[in-house]
Structure 1
């Protein structure tokens, strides 16, 4: 009786395409050259992510840049908004907590003079506002802990202000980060940074015992598109008239979804070919998942609650 084929190489090859697209270009041959133990571990990690996506449908994290301040007036206004004018607890990058209007004034002064002077109105972005969110039912303190650990890794050497919002449908953390680090290096988040940030946040939630994933929209078959970071910045500055690349982006997004569908098919076929019952079950789950994903996918509902519950504004919250 012939031995079932080794599935590890296929899991790594096509799983990387789905979950770690920056790692390598997928080719039919040769398969990734890893040691036997490393390959087994890598394949096990890929299998876990496949099961989380198509079987357990693990909640997806959201990490979103919601804007940023050009000058201390805008930054201070955002401090007041996320803290409800000092009524909610504020935490800084050192883990120190504070409340009240006086604390807000002292915090604004610390940011204004803690590095290059931040004028009331600046011609450059002096802070970025980030929101980290999980769906309804997630433990708020776990979200706060994961956000804190995320900031230690991804925003190290920057001044940070963090506030937990657990009074709305979904727990989320607002983070304001000073664009200039303590060493004078400026933060400039890009699309690749945002994906890494999602991965880091999800990893920290899992360390806390919370199931969370940071799977790309194309891998999930989702097509909901949020404004690009440059669009957010241009809109804030009153420079956004239209998106000249909208059509091109739509084509590119569909191509990404098509590539993800092809990868799912390769994985399902390879798993089914082993003849082992756990692999057959996983292959059937992949096929059912892919069948629910139309070519022109519907808007992704994973974080619709966040869009509805957390309006992006910097004025006083009513």
Structure 2
């Protein structure tokens, strides 16, 4: 049973706001009839809604972890990601290298190929990127998807990649030369990172792995992730300072999540009016998804406080206070 054009139109209108960055790269097939194109787009949006709210598909991670400002730092990163030559390192031509001598040759290719990269410098000459999936994902597929990601998003740049499968979650380290062969420079921004996540998730799905790249605002989350250097330092016991707040805040944060919630409500309303049973079931899943959103719960707590109603924390506090020793109560 097909859904009405009104339902499909609402899915495309509000779903594209939820799921796609404004700078995404679209490679469309020859233009079909308008109604056929709308049905195709609506089918894609339905699939992403099901993956997000019903199946809770794993989220890909794409992170820029730093970069070298000279050839000494870049070569050191080559050694780090390849475990000093023990792991195979693959370049942008698909050629594999292994061993310390191969790493030195690779560093010389970067140093002298194109504009000279000095041993030390002030300008960032390379970016380090990590593509990751949760535990249980086939490492070989993560590597193939990363290879396709790099070919699509880093075309014209020299890069190397190494698969790490010895840790809990399989991931690929990429080191990308900042200056492309045509002289243009890579300068990843937040919108680029979201597009990169979309591309990586798309490549994984092409290999049969369920993966999503929805934004935190779309999922109503408010987590603030520590930078890689802080995580490494803490793991090695080198970072003892108090941890910063793990929750996001600010007007942009609120505005993005309110816009996302509005889009979810509009989509749910459209699906509820559909004559398809699976659409109506999906509308119910969206209601449950919205109720479980961290930001929705945050709004509920804020409303309770504004109305003077006790929150769960308020209810628990008297019990905890009465269990304290006398001096604490007197204070």
TM-score bucket of the superposed structures, by smaller chain = 0.7 to 0.9
- Matched residue SS, 1:65: strand
The C-alpha deviation readout for 1:18-40, integer Å capped at 9, x for no partner, is 112528xxxxxxxxxx8111111
Report the alpha carbon displacement of residue 227 of structure 1 after superposing the two structures with TM: 6.9
Relative contact order higher in (CA < 8 Å, ≥ 6 apart): 1
CA distance in 1, matches of 2:171, 2:227: 21
Does the 8 Å CA contact 1:5/1:274 hold for their aligned counterparts? no
Does the 8 Å CA contact 1:221/1:297 hold for their aligned counterparts? no
Report the alpha carbon displacement of residue 253 of structure 1 after superposing the two structures with TM: 1.4
Which residue is 2:285 aligned to? 285
State TM-score, norm by structure 2: 0.77
The C-alpha deviation readout for 1:173-219, integer Å capped at 9, x for no partner, is 00000111122211111111111111111111111111111111111
CA distance in 2, matches of 1:297, 1:141: 39
CA distance in 2, matches of 1:38, 1:57: 27
Return 5+ residue gaps in structure 2 as ranges: 24-32, 229-246, 299-331
CA distance in 1, matches of 2:93, 2:22: 33
Which residue is 2:6 aligned to? 6
Does the 8 Å CA contact 2:157/2:180 hold for their aligned counterparts? yes
- Matched residue SS, 2:265: helix
Which residue is 2:190 aligned to? 191
Q: 1:158 to 1:249 in 2, by over 3 A?
A: farther
State TM-score, norm by structure 1: 0.80
- Matched residue SS, 1:175: strand
Alignment of 1:24-35 (within 5 A): 35=34
Alignment of 1:163-202 (within 5 A): 163-202=162-201
Greater helix proportion:
2
Return 5+ residue gaps in structure 1 as ranges: 24-33, 230-246, 299-318
- Matched residue SS, 2:147: helix
How many residues were matched structurally? 270
- Matched residue SS, 2:52: helix
**Which structure is larger by alpha-carbon Rg, 1 or 2?**
2
Which residue is 1:242 aligned to? none
Please tell me the root mean square deviation across aligned C-alpha atoms, in Å: 2.3
